[in-house]
Amino acid sequence: MTFTRRTLLAAVSAAAMVAAPLAAEAQNLPRNMRMVIGSTSTGGDTYQNSAIVAEALAEKLGINIKVDAVGASEGFKALARDKRGTTIMMFHDQSFLGNLYGVTGYADPFADYTVGPTVAINPGNAYLVPADSPYQTMEDIFAAAESGTRVRVAIQPGGVSEIGFTAMKNAARVRAPGSEANIVAVNTGSQSDKNQAMWDDLADVINGSIQANEQFTQLDPSDEKAMRFVWITARPETLEQAPEAGMGNTTRADMLGYASPETSVTLDGSEDFTFDKEFFLLYNKDMDPEIIAAIDTALTELYDEGKIQERQKDAFFIPDFLPSEAAREHLTQKRDTYRQVIDEISSGS
Amino acid sequence: MFEILTPLFVSLIVGGTLVGIIFGAIPGMTATMAVAVCLPLTYSLGLENGLALLLGLYVGGISGGLVPAILLGIPGTPSSITTTFDGYPMAQKGEGEKALRIGIVASLVGGLVSLLVLDLFAPTLADFAIKFSYVEKFLIIFFALTVMAALSSDMLLGIFSGVLGIFVALIGTYDISDGGNGNLRLVPPGTEYWLESGFSLLPVLIGLFGLAAILEQAEIGVPKGHSSKDINVGRHARFSFGVFRGQSINLLRSSLIGTFVGILPGVGGSAASIISYTNAKTFSKTPERFGKGEPGGIIASEAGNNGLTGGALVPLLSLGIPGDSTTALLIGAFTLQGIQVGPLFIGNNPGTWDAMIIAMLIANLAMFAMMYFAIRYFALVVTIPKHILFPVILMMCVIGAYTINYGIMFDVWTLLIFGVLGWLFTKLRLEVAPFIIGFILGPSAEIYFVKSLESFGDVTIFFTKSWIAVLLWVLIIGSVAGAVLMAKKNRQIAEEPV
Nearest Cα to Cα of residue B319 among A132, A219, A48: A219
**Which member of A104, A192, A211 has the closest CB to residue B173?**
A104
**Residues constituting chain A:** 349
Boundary-marking domain end, from A212, A231, A258: A258
**Which member of B182, B319, B320 has the closest CB to residue A103?**
B182
Which residues from chain B sit within 8 angstroms of residue A105, using beta carbons?
173, 182, 196
In a domain, A109, yes or no: yes
- Return phi, psi of residue B233, to 5°: -65, -35
Shortest distance, CA B310 to any CA of chain A (angstroms): 19
End-to-end C-alpha distance for chain B, whole angstroms: 67
In a domain, A17, yes or no: no
Residue A210 contacts residue A217 (beta carbons within 8 Å): no
Asked if A181 and A113 sit in the same domain, the reply is: no
Asked if A254 and A151 sit in the same domain, the reply is: yes
Q: Do B176 and A157 touch (CB under 8 A)?
A: yes
Q: Is B27 left (phi over 0), alpha (psi -120 to 50) or beta?
A: beta
In a domain, A48, yes or no: yes
- Return phi, psi of residue A131, to 5°: -60, -30
Boundary-marking domain end, from A258, A287, A321: A258
Strand (E) or helix (H) holding A186: strand A183-187
Q: Do A188 and B335 touch (CB under 8 A)?
A: no
Domain that holds residue A159: 125-258
Q: For A246-278, how does the pLDDT look when each residue is reduced to its tens digit (9 = 90+)? A: 998 999 999 999 999 999 999 989 999 999 999
Asked if A163 and A240 sit in the same domain, the reply is: yes
DSSP string covering B108-161: HHHHHHHHHHHHHHHHHHHHHHTT--HHHHHHHHHHHHTHHHHH-SSHHHHHHH
Rounded CA gap, A184 and B444, in Å?
25
Shortest distance, CA A42 to any CA of chain B (angstroms): 5
In a domain, A266, yes or no: no
Residue A349: its pLDDT value, please? 46
Closest alpha carbon within chain A to B130: A196
Whether residue A309 lies within 8 A of chain B, CB to CB, comes out as no
Which residues from chain A sit within 8 angstroms of residue B54, using beta carbons?
none
Shortest distance, CA B300 to any CA of chain A (angstroms): 29
End-to-end C-alpha distance for chain A, whole angstroms: 28
Rounded CA gap, B74 and B275, in Å?
20
Which residues from chain A sit within 8 angstroms of residue B183, using beta carbons?
104
Q: Do B179 and A193 touch (CB under 8 A)?
A: yes
Q: Which of B33, B130, B177 would best serve as a mutation to test chain A binding (most A beta carbons within 10 A)?
A: B177
Q: Do A215 and B180 touch (CB under 8 A)?
A: no
Shortest distance, CA B54 to any CA of chain A (angstroms): 13
Whether residue A86 lies within 8 A of chain B, CB to CB, comes out as no
Q: Do A190 and B184 touch (CB under 8 A)?
A: no
Q: Which amino acid is at B11?
A: S
Asked if A232 and A250 sit in the same domain, the reply is: yes
Asked if A290 and A306 sit in the same domain, the reply is: yes
In a domain, A99, yes or no: yes
Which residues from chain A sit within 8 angstroms of residue B455, using beta carbons?
186, 197, 200, 202
**Which member of B180, B332, B407 has the closest CB to residue A42?**
B332
pLDDT of residue A136 exceeding 60: yes
Asked if A117 and A130 sit in the same domain, the reply is: no
In a domain, A193, yes or no: yes
Rounded CA gap, B360 and B59, in Å?
8
Which residues from chain B sit within 8 angstroms of residue A38, using beta carbons?
none
B78 three-state secondary structure: helix
Residue B226: its pLDDT value, please? 43
- What is the four-CA torsion angle of A104, A106, A108, A113, rounded to 10 degrees? 140
Shortest distance, CA B66 to any CA of chain A (angstroms): 27
ipTM over 0.90: no
Q: For A276-331, how does the pLDDT look when each residue is reduced to its tens digit (9 = 90+)? A: 999 999 999 999 999 999 999 999 999 999 999 999 998 889 999 999 999 999 99
Residue B170 contacts residue B446 (beta carbons within 8 Å): yes
Asked if A129 and A104 sit in the same domain, the reply is: no
In a domain, A94, yes or no: yes
Taking 50 as the pLDDT cut, the residues of chain B under it are: 225-228, 230-231
Asked if A188 and A101 sit in the same domain, the reply is: no
Whether residue A44 lies within 8 A of chain B, CB to CB, comes out as yes
Residue B16: its pLDDT value, please? 95
Asked if A146 and A252 sit in the same domain, the reply is: yes
CATH code, A338: 3.40.190.150
**Which member of B133, B405, B406 has the closest CB to residue A196?**
B133
Whether residue A333 lies within 8 A of chain B, CB to CB, comes out as no
DSSP string covering B180-212: ----EES--TT-HHHHTT---HHHHHHIIIIIH
Shortest distance, CA A272 to any CA of chain B (angstroms): 28
Closest alpha carbon within chain A to B39: A42
Q: Which amino acid is at A223?
A: D
In a domain, A267, yes or no: no
Residue A38 contacts residue A282 (beta carbons within 8 Å): no
Residue B382: its pLDDT value, please? 67
Asked if A248 and A319 sit in the same domain, the reply is: no
Asked if A62 and A117 sit in the same domain, the reply is: yes
Q: Do A156 and B177 touch (CB under 8 A)?
A: yes
CATH code, A191: 3.40.190.10
Q: Do A43 and B405 touch (CB under 8 A)?
A: no
Which residues from chain B sit within 8 angstroms of residue A64, using beta carbons?
none
Give the DSSP letter of residue B264. S
Q: For B359-387, how does the pLDDT look when each residue is reduced to its tens digit (9 = 90+)? A: 999 999 999 999 988 887 777 776 778 78
Instruction: Check the CA dihedral A6-A7-A12-A17 and report its sign.
Output: positive
**Residues constituting chain B:** 498
Residue B281 contacts residue B297 (beta carbons within 8 Å): yes
DSSP string covering A224-292: TT-EEEEEE-S-HHHHTTS-TT-BTTB-HHHHHHHSTTTS--BSSSSSB----EEEEEEEETT--HHHH
Rounded CA gap, B28 and B401, in Å?
6
Which residues from chain B sit within 8 angstroms of residue A73, using beta carbons?
173, 196-197
Residue B231: its pLDDT value, please? 47
Residue A33 binned pLDDT confidence (cut-offs 50, 70, 90): very high
Residue A1 binned pLDDT confidence (cut-offs 50, 70, 90): very low
Q: Do B179 and A188 touch (CB under 8 A)?
A: yes
Q: Which amino acid is at A277?
A: K
Q: Which of A55, A196, A227 would best serve as a mutation to test chain B binding (most B beta carbons within 10 A)?
A: A196
Note if the bond before B497 is cis, omega within 30 degrees. Answer: no
Q: Do A105 and B196 touch (CB under 8 A)?
A: yes
Q: Do A187 and B179 touch (CB under 8 A)?
A: yes
Whether residue A74 lies within 8 A of chain B, CB to CB, comes out as yes
Distances from the Cα of A105 to the Cα of A41, A74, A340, B173, B197, angstroms? 18, 9, 22, 9, 10
**Which member of B175, B319, B328 has the closest CB to residue A41?**
B328
Shortest distance, CA A327 to any CA of chain B (angstroms): 26
Closest alpha carbon within chain A to B339: A315
Work out the angle at residue A346's Cα, subtended by the Cα atoms of residues A341 and A348, and round it to the nearest 5 degrees.
Answer: 95
Asked if A140 and A196 sit in the same domain, the reply is: yes
The number of distinct structural domains making up chain A is 2
Rounded CA gap, B209 and B215, in Å?
10
A187 three-state secondary structure: strand
Q: Judging by DSSP bridges, how do beta strands A277-284 and A113-122 pair with one another?
A: antiparallel
Closest alpha carbon within chain B to A52: B336
User: How many other CB atoms are found less than 10 A from the CB of residue B491?
Assistant: 11
Which residues from chain A sit within 8 angstroms of residue B175, using beta carbons?
189
- Return phi, psi of residue A230, to 5°: -125, -20
**Which member of A48, A200, A218 has the closest CB to residue B344?**
A218
Whether residue A199 lies within 8 A of chain B, CB to CB, comes out as yes
**Which member of B179, B330, B343 has the closest CB to residue A216?**
B343
Q: Is A30 left (phi over 0), alpha (psi -120 to 50) or beta?
A: beta
Strand (E) or helix (H) holding B86: helix B81-92
